[in-house]
Amino acid sequence: MKNLIYSGIILTLLFSGCSSQKILQTEAPFVLGNVTAQKWVGGMEQTGTGYELKIPIPEILKDNVVLEEVFFRGRIAEITMENKQVAMAKYTSSKPDIIMHADPKEEVGNQPPSMDKKSKKKFPFELTSSEAVLSYNEDGKTKYFKIKKVKELAPKIFPAAKPRD
């Protein structure tokens, strides 16, 4: 009797673990154009750096499809629609403002590094640097589609701000 109960518990745990896996769809309910990634560098030190991922979507084939997130190069970003046919995801990283002083007591205000909510999520996919995964909601279910070719554009380097007179 005990063996039957233990077997039931183990099977329940095994099947519940399988449901949390992210299953990639072979076909998407939308047409994708040429997806591009472009690194950008701010003109001032505090502006940071990042990536901009552009996803052209000339046509959505089904109703009730909402784009949610993009998984790219170990990072997760929310999707915003630039217009009706271009989705955009921005990945930013900036240096924290740190007080450096000879007296350690002066450095008390420094905050330990923290990740935003999206970065705290475990990255669930094995991707190359030219691949991304697009998550979308279709009829209330979250689904995932792998973008197999992301074209890397030349970096966009913003000039430093001119000093004010």
Given this model, what pLDDT does residue 97 score? 65
> Does residue 73 lie within any of the structural domains?
yes
Structure tokens, 67: 């784009």
- The first and second tokens of residue 118, run together, are 């999206």
pLDDT of residue 155: 86
Cβ neighbours for 24, distance < 8 A, ≥ 6 positions apart: 133, 144, 145, 146
Q: Looking at residue 58, which CATH number applies to its domain?
A: 2.60.40
In a domain, 72, yes or no: yes
Q: Domain total for the chain? A: 1
Dump pLDDT digits (tens) for 45-60: 666 788 899 999 998 8
Domain residues for the domain of 39 are: 22-95+116-157
Instruction: Count how many residues are written for the chain.
Output: 165
Whether residue 128 is contained in a domain is answered as: yes
Angle at 130 between CA 128 and CA 136, to 5 degrees: 90
Tens of pLDDT, residue by residue over 99-145, are: 777 787 777 777 776 655 544 567 788 889 899 999 999 988 999 99
Is 9 domain-assigned? no
CA–CA separation, 137 and 61 (whole Å): 14
For the chain, the first-to-last Cα distance in angstroms comes to 85
Residue 14 lies in a domain: no
pLDDT the model gives residue 49:
82
> Is residue 101 one of the residues assigned to a domain?
no
Q: Is residue 40 part of a domain?
A: yes
Give the pLDDT mean for 24-30: 85
Give pLDDT tens digits for 54-108.
999 998 888 888 999 999 988 899 999 888 899 999 988 766 667 777 787 777 7
CA dist 76 and 123 (Å) reads 8
The answer to whether residue 108 sits within a structural domain is no
pLDDT for 145 equals 93
CA dist., res. 96 & res. 114, Å (int): 10
Is the pLDDT at 7 greater than 70? The verdict is no
